[in-house]
């Protein structure tokens, strides 16, 4: 029996995710099975809270992505990971606010509506003041929301 167990540990998916290359292979299997032996807090030690992701991550990922403690880039290393879904550089660069109308004209409002509610445009542009840019509800001019 001992020999069979040892073979299982090295030849199965268990061996792949726990072997010498575990840092790069441990998330390649069915992550829901990890909790059979590992507490969810174990993942959070390296990856930040919320790993493995629950089924609602797509809805709430924007706030998590802005939180450095989440360490999203520990797994999602390439900028293209965010950009491929959003269709635009994410997070938006600092220069984005000044050029967003040109981008909207070029790429269309639908791109913005992937993440933003159409009302977001109205909320900022209704408070637009010349010169200097849009005023935020707090009264600051030209600052990001």
* The residue to which tokens 């635009």 are assigned: 88
Give the pLDDT of residue 144.
42
Alpha-carbon distance values, 138 to 32, 121, 122, 135 (Å): 44, 17, 16, 8
* 10-residue averages of pLDDT along the chain (145 residues): 55 72 76 77 77 80 79 80 86 87 89 87 73 49 41
Q: Shortest CA distance to 125 belongs to which of 97, 95, 90, 89?
A: 97
Phi, psi of 39 (to 5 degrees): -75, 145
Q: Which residues contact 16 (CB under 8 A, 6 or more apart)?
A: 25, 28, 29
CA 47 to chain centre: 12
β-bridge partners, 130: none
Q: What is the pTM of this model?
A: 0.52
β-bridge partners, 141: 135
In the chain, domain spans: 1-37, 39-77, 87-134
Q: Are 25 and 42 in contact (CB under 8 A)?
A: no
Give the pLDDT of residue 132.
54
Give the pLDDT of residue 1.
46
Q: Are 143 and 94 in contact (CB under 8 A)?
A: no
Give the pLDDT of residue 28.
73
Q: Are 52 and 31 in contact (CB under 8 A)?
A: yes
């Amino acid at each position: 029996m001992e020999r069979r167990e040892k073979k299982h540990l090295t030849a199965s998916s268990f061996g792949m995710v726990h072997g010498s290359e575990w840092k790069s292979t441990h998330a390649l299997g069915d992550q829901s099975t990890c909790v059979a032996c590992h507490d969810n807090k174990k993942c959070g030690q390296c990856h930040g809270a919320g790993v493995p992701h629950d089924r609602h991550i797509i809805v709430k990922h924007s706030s998590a992505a802005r939180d450095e403690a989440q360490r999203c880039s520990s797994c999602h290393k390439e900028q293209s990971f965010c950009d491929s879904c959003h269709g635009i550089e994410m997070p938006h660069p600092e220069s984005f606010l000044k050029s967003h109308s040109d981008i909207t004209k070029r790429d269309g409002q639908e791109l913005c509506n992937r993440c933003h509610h159409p009302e977001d445009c109205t909320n900022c542009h209704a408070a637009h003041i010349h010169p200097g840019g849009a005023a935020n509800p707090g009264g600051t001019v030209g600052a990001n929301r």
